[in-house]
Structure 1
């Protein structure tokens, strides 16, 4: 199947790399950022263009949510399948007269971080059973975890991902601010972080909870509050309150 990836960011790069590593042909990678496209093309040996879309049977749009509608209008071919990779947008955001779908990889992507693509879940939504099979078979060449999903379900998948990834990473950043301010190497906390994440592979997160809030240790909670101020103090109080509510603590 002739396939074109549209975009030059993190998702476009990793999806293109996953295709190449699994020997799935790519006709082109297309976008506006020539510098990024040249780098991707050079590394993965894929033709690229900033001017003309190649003819293809499948176009996969890997751009920001705000740009999907506009970019989708660049595809004027009617007899083709077009998929976006957004976790939150409906397939109907695609503006052409082609067949519409979603090809959503559930992962956080950075160009400098290698990934095991076989572990990344893909969620597929299409307009008909034939396209569902086409995209499912394609995803199964990359990943062991492929699932059909409606837009309604995908919204909750994306919301869960924000809690499990984006919010957690923000907390890591706040933790590093505290350790940096006290000149404590953040590397010292990495074994704790690794163990926390590894633990929920084996134990339900609710059962794995530790810390002063779940122990209802008011002395430690008050001590910590005295050490914090402004936004960090509000985050600390909010999270501790949420933990107490989850465990029905006073």
Structure 2
């Protein structure tokens, strides 16, 4: 099977790397950013282009959600399968007369961070059984966790991921701002963060909750609010209200 990856960002890089590590040949990585494409191509020893899209049986679009439809229109071949990697978009967003599907890896991707690809869940949706089987076989060469998912279910998977990953990382960023403001090394908090994450491998997150809000420790809550301002204060109050409501305090 001839495969082309379209994109040069984090998802494109890691999928290309996962493919090459698992001896899945790529005929090309295609995109607009020549510098990024060249770095990926040189590292992984694959061809790249910014202007000539090679013929392929499968095109994997790894671009931002707002660009998927526009980029998909570049594929003029009809007898091929085109997939996007979005967690939120329907496969019907793809603008062509080819066969359409989604190929969603549930992970946060940064080029500088190594990943264990075999642990990443992949969610597949296709127009027919044959294409579904093709994508299942492909994903199974990379990952031990490959599942079928409708667009409706995938939207909730992505929403859950935003809460569990993007929001949590923003809180880490806010926490580091506070520690930096007082010249407290953020490294001190890494064992706490690691233990917090490790606990939910063994406990329901609701049962693992600790802190002044779950105890309704008004004195500490008020003290913290005096130390905060602007957006961090708003976040602190919003999350504490949510915790209190969950635990009916």
> Does the TM-score normalized on the shorter chain lie above 0.5?
yes
Correspondence for 2:43 = 43
CA distance in 1, matches of 2:247, 2:156: 24
Secondary structure of the residue that 1:244 maps to in structure 2?
helix
* CA deviation map 1:154-196 (0-9, x unaligned): 1000000000000000000000000000000000000000100
Matches for 1:76-155 after TM superposition, within 5 Å: 76-155=76-155
- The runs of 4+ residues in structure 1 deviating greater than 3 Å are none
CA distance in 2, matches of 1:229, 1:32: 42
Correspondence for 2:230 = 230
Shift of 1:234: 0.9
Correspondence for 1:191 = 191
* CA deviation map 1:11-43 (0-9, x unaligned): 000000000000001111001111111100100
Correspondence for 1:2 = 2
Report the TM-score when normalising by structure 2: 0.99
Secondary structure of the residue that 1:214 maps to in structure 2?
helix
Shift of 1:231: 1.2
CA distance in 2, matches of 1:57, 1:47: 16
* CA deviation map 1:204-225 (0-9, x unaligned): 0000000000011111111111
Secondary structure of the residue that 1:82 maps to in structure 2?
strand
Matches for 1:203-242 after TM superposition, within 5 Å: 203-242=203-242
CA distance in 2, matches of 1:39, 1:230: 40
State how many pairs are aligned: 249
CA distance in 2, matches of 1:191, 1:132: 42
Shift of 1:146: 0.7
Residue segments in structure 1 that go unaligned for 5+ positions in a row: none
Correspondence for 2:54 = 54
